[in-house]
Every structure is written in C-alpha cells, then in structure tokens.
Amino acid sequence: MRLPLLAATGPMGWLGIVAAALTVYALPLVLDDAFFILVMQSLAYLYIVAIGIDILVGWTGQISIGHAGLYAVGAYTSALLTTKAGFSFWASAPLGVVAAGIAGGLLALPSLRAKGPYLAMVTLAFGFMVEVTANRWDFTGGPMGIMSIPGPRLPSGEEMDGTEYFWLIGGTAIVVQVLTANLYRSRIGRTLFALQGSEVAAETVGINVYAWKVLAFVLSSVCAGLGGVFFAHQNGFINSDTFVFGLSVQLLTSALMGGSGTLFGPLVGSVILNLLPTIFAHLHEYQLYIYGGIILVTIVFMPRGIVGSLLQLNVVRGLLPKPAAIAPDPSVIAELREGARPTVTVRDLSKHFGGIRALNNVDISIKPGTVHGLIGPNGSGKSTFVNVVTGIYKPTSGEVEVAGKQVGGSSPHGMARSGITRTFQSIRLFGDLSVLNNVMVGFHLQLRYGFLSHLFQTAGAVAEEERYRRRAMALLEFVGIADRAEDLAQNLSYGEQRRLEIARGLATKPKLLLLDEPAAGVNPTELHYLADVIGRIKAAGVTQVVIEHHMELIMGISDTISVLDFGQKIAEGTATEVRANPKVIEAYLGAPAEGETHG
C-alpha cells in the first residue's frame, strides 16, 4: 500500500504474530499488579477501536468525531443482554458487535452523502444523541448506569480473573490486527485507499464509491462495538459518563498521532495516549505539560504521525524487505483486442447549465479501433463532452450508445462497467498508492474474490492478486514505466504520471478510452513517448477519443477529428480536411477565412 509493512503471512509475518502473542501472555505475569493489568486491558480494547477509526480516517479519508456513540452501542447492548435477558458474555458479545455494525451502517447511509466538516458534524451529533439517550433512558439505567455486569466465564464455569480477561482482550486485538493487515494489502484496502486519493477517478474505473465508504464505516463501527463490549464487562459497571465527546477525540487522536493509514500507527498512538498518563501519574503537577508536549511535538514535527513520518526516512525504508520481482504477463495486452470492437455513438447530446448550453445536440460516431480527435477553442464544450460521456455529468438530453446499447446517463462506475473510462486534464492518481497498485485498482471490475476471501487471505484470493499483479506489470511495461512499479505514484514525473493514468485506464479493458488533454504540461521528450503509447494502444485494438490543444500531436495521431465551438460540432473529417475547413479557421482565429463572407 503506502509502504510495505509487516505481512501477516510468511516467515516474518508469523514471527511477528508469535512475538506479539508471547508479549501479551508474559506482560501480566512479569508485572503482576492488578492496577497495571486493568490499564493494559483498557489499552488493548481502545487499540481495537483505534484500528477501526484508522480504517475510516486513514484509509478512506472520512472524519468521524462521534465514535464514542458506536462504542456505547456495543457496550450497552452486551451489558443489557447479560443483565436483563440472562445471556452469557459469549452470546451477548457478538450481538453487541453486530448492533454497533448495524448502527454504523444506518448512520453511514445518510451521513456519507455529506463530506468534510459536514460529515464530522453528523457523527458528532450522533455521539451526543447516544450520550443523552443513555443518560436519560430508564432502560439503560439513566445516570446511574448498569451494575453487576457479569464477566466472561471459562468452560469450567468460573469467571475470568483480571489476567485471563487481559489475555482474551489482548488475543482479540492481535487477531483484529492480523485481519486488518490482510485487508490492508488486499483488494479491499487498495480500493479504500483509492477513495482517499480521488473519488472521481475511483468511480471511472468501476468503484461504487458510496457503497465502499459505507463498508468502511461498518468495519470501523464493528471495531468500536467490540471495544465497547470489552469495556462493559471489565468492571461490571457502565454509565453515560464514559461515552462523552472527549472519548471520540481521544480515539481519533490515537490514530492520527500514531500515523493514520500506516497499519501500526493506531498501536503507537494508543500506547502514548492511554499508557503514558499512567506512567507519569506520580508527576501529576507536570502530567498535562508532558502529555500536551508529546502531542504538540508530534503535530509540528511529524505531520504524518509518528509511524508515517518514520517510514518516510530512508534509513527505515532500508530496513524493510524489498518486494520480489514480478514477471509481466503480456496476455493482458492481447486481451485488449478480444471480442467485437463496438462502435460508440453519441446522438443529439446536450448539457445545459441554467441558461448556458455547454453542449447542444452534438452527434459523433466513433469508429472501432481508431483514434478520434476532439478539438476546439477554450470553452467549446470538450471537457463537458468527456464528463457527460463518462457519467460525471448527467446529460440534459441525448444518448450515448455502445454497440447499439444505450448507456448514457449512468453513473461513472456504471459507465466503466459498460466499457467507457477516461484520464483527466488535471491528473488524478492515487498518490499514496504505489505505481503498481494504481494499475491494480484499474482491475477492480475483473477481480472476483470478495471481502471474506481477502479478510482471511484464502488461497484463491492470494493467487488472483498475484496473477493480476503480473498483468499490471505488463501494462506498466507497455507504457514504459515498469521500472517505477514500487514507487509512490506522487513521486513520478509529470509525463510518467500521464502514462500511469493511461495504464490504469487500460486495466479496465475499455471499449472506449477518453484521454483528456494528455499532452498538457508534458515536455517534448515525454510528448514523443505519449504519441508512441497512443499509437500502440490503437494497434492493440482499443478505441480512443483524444481531447487535445496540441495541434501537432492531435493531427498526427487522429484518424478522424471532430471540432466543437460554443457547444456545437462545426466540422468533422481527416486532419487535412479539418485543417482547411473555413469554420474551423474562423473558430480559432476569430475571423472568417480569407475569401469567406457571411450573408
């Protein structure tokens, strides 16, 4: 993902799991103190919640400051089932986790239509609602809370003591960490990181952004509910005083301080925010200064969090294992020409913005296997045309057909399913993903193994990932940047980023690939590479529409050129025909061509 981290499988991965398990087992035995064990229990279940926060915040970029409410749902559900319905811990705990997941899903459905600070405000309101309800509802015990909550019992019938309960929570935390690591390096994590990089670009390769954001919220809620369940059965008592706004801020800070999106950041942040106050308790007069100083230093000098900033250092990178070489699978190139190459037809396409007619009854027929150029002065409607054809804008009227099938008006991910994808005038890559993983995101619609397969890293899911990595490497080789496969996309040169965007588009196996001003900002050397890539894509059988201001490039690569002006098509033909067309000359020069008059 961002940087290669400890894998949950393989010798090094298993070594890390064993080391973590031995640490959890030994801590309460070496430091045999009831208070310390209680603190470690709290650290372990709050760490689980922080992992969930990081999935939402660090992976998808969605901010929640109301997770204390989801934490409370898990706690109260399990506590009420054991005290009022006679359930055992082992029966109530899963139900508490499920209840938190459902609550998170129901909260996500409307709230994720908001973005940025508005989403944060929705989650904040939810947290306050849960706190007030718990405080005033007789069923939850009101301000007195719920007492005599039983702890989990062993098979012998005895209730777990503090050490055994810590082993349960700590072991669960290790399992959650391993499963999260599985998702982190799989299709699931890659897709969620893509949402943070660019939601629009993610949609154009077939990702249903809204559905995946809801999934992230549910996963985060499940972790919050699990932490709440462990909290409820820790001391046998809960009330609403725990589930306050400050707890939500603390949980969010744990993920951000440790390093959001780094997998182990939540652990570091949780240790600092939950363990250090206890360690420095004897310095009570200076405790807040020490605590606040650590937070301040982290924010100022480590803006990516502690783990994230350390991973940026070359020394740390050198300690990480180098990824194995990937042999390209060239069959992906041959498959681009598979099946009938359909004609793409745009008929009477219009798009109005109020009284402005950005497109007005445009008709264009794009022949299969050709490069179709689209030119026109600034403001002529070229970008609007691309946005309508790829589903970013809904057309006011008109049709888009692929092989005679009407597809116009679909969402961007729906258009991608129909075989239409694009690049962008302003490059939209998933900058925190590697070059290889950017192309892997493009295979989204072709991957068949789902969430559970990747969660448990089944043999089929692992084999599919390996197969498509070889195909992704072949596409990078095709566009000439295979040597940069393990670099972050944001570290490529401008021209290389253009070619990476094209490789990601090709991964969708498109019937129509629209390139929106691919030469913008590209130097002459890179322009030569770009023209060569477009030619090889044509030779591979992919139909292309190229929107471009660079006349030498567009005239040299296009089989047919359509010209727009003020939202209307004014000319169409070969490069020679278009270059000599009086209407085209007038549109670009602002005056009639010599010898032309207007009646």
Question: What residue type is 263 in one-letter code?
Answer: L
Give mean pLDDT, residues 416-421.
93
What are the backbone dihedrals phi and psi of residue 249, each rounded to the nearest 5 degrees, phi first? Answer: -65, -40
Q: At residue 4, does pLDDT exceed 80? A: no
Q: What is the DSSP string of 474-529?
A: HHHHHHT-GGGTTSBGGGS-HHHHHHHHHHHHHHT--SEEEEESTTTT--HHHHHH
- pLDDT tens column, 182-225: 999 999 999 999 999 999 999 999 999 999 999 999 999 999 99
Parse the chain into domains and list their residue ranges.
10-243, 333-589
Span 275-285, average pLDDT:
72
CA dist., res. 66 & res. 277, Å (int): 23
Question: What was the pLDDT predicted at 338?
Answer: 73
Residue given tokens 């030469």 in the structure block: 519
316 pLDDT higher than 70: no
| 50, 52, 53, 55 alpha-carbon torsion, rounded to 10° | 130
What is the CATH code for 333-589?
3.40.50.300
Residues 181 and 267 sit within 8 Å (Cβ to Cβ): no
Query: What was the pLDDT predicted at 8?
Result: 42
pLDDT number for residue 591? 60
pLDDT band of 12, cuts 50, 70, 90: low
187 CB burial (10 A radius; 0-12, 13-18, 19+): buried
Chain mean pLDDT for the chain: 89
User: Using an 8 Å Cβ cutoff, are 250 and 257 in contact?
Assistant: no
Q: Could you give the C-alpha distances from 258 to 110, 255, 307, 481, 500, in angstroms and in order?
A: 30, 5, 6, 33, 31
Cα separation, 149 vs 79, in Å, equals: 6
Angle at 234 between CA 135 and CA 223, to 5 degrees: 75
Q: What whole-number percentage of the chain has pLDDT above 70?
A: 93
The answer to whether residue 458 scores a pLDDT higher than 90 is yes
CA distance 89 to 154: 10
Average pLDDT over residues 72-88: 96
- The helices-and-strands tally (H runs, E runs) of the chain is 26, 10
Question: Span 147-160, mean pLDDT?
Answer: 94
Task: Please classify residue 483 by burial: count the beta carbons closer than 10 Å to its beta carbon, then call 0-12 exposed, 13-18 middle and 19+ buried.
Answer: exposed
Instruction: Say whether pLDDT at 53 is over 60.
Output: yes
Does the structure show a pLDDT above 80 at 469?
yes
Quote the pLDDT of residue 592: 58
CA distance 485 to 436: 5
Q: Give whole-number Cα distances, 308 to 282, 317, 418, in Å.
A: 31, 11, 39
Residues 388 and 562: beta-carbon distance below 8 Å: no
| Strand order across the beta sheet in which 356-366 lies | 356-366, 344-353, 397-402, 405-406
Q: For the residues of 36-96, what is the DSSP string, one character each?
A: HHHHHHHHHHHHHHHHHHHIIIIIH----S-HHHHHHHHHHHHHHHHHHS---HHHHHHHH
pTM of the model: 0.90
Average pLDDT over residues 520-528: 87
Torsion (CA) 353, 355, 359, 361 in degrees, nearest 10: 130
pLDDT band at 315 (very low <50, low <70, confident <90, very high): very low
Can you list the alpha helix ranges (DSSP code H) found in 233-313? 245-258, 265-279, 287-301, 305-311
- Number of Cβ within 10 Å of residue 133's Cβ equals 15
Q: What distance lies between CA 533 and its chain's CA centroid?
A: 28
The tokens 């179709």 sit on which residue? Answer: 372
Lookup: tokens for 242: 């725990």
Over range 561-584, report the average pLDDT.
93
**What angle do helix axes 34-54 and 10-30 make, rounded to 10 degrees?**
150
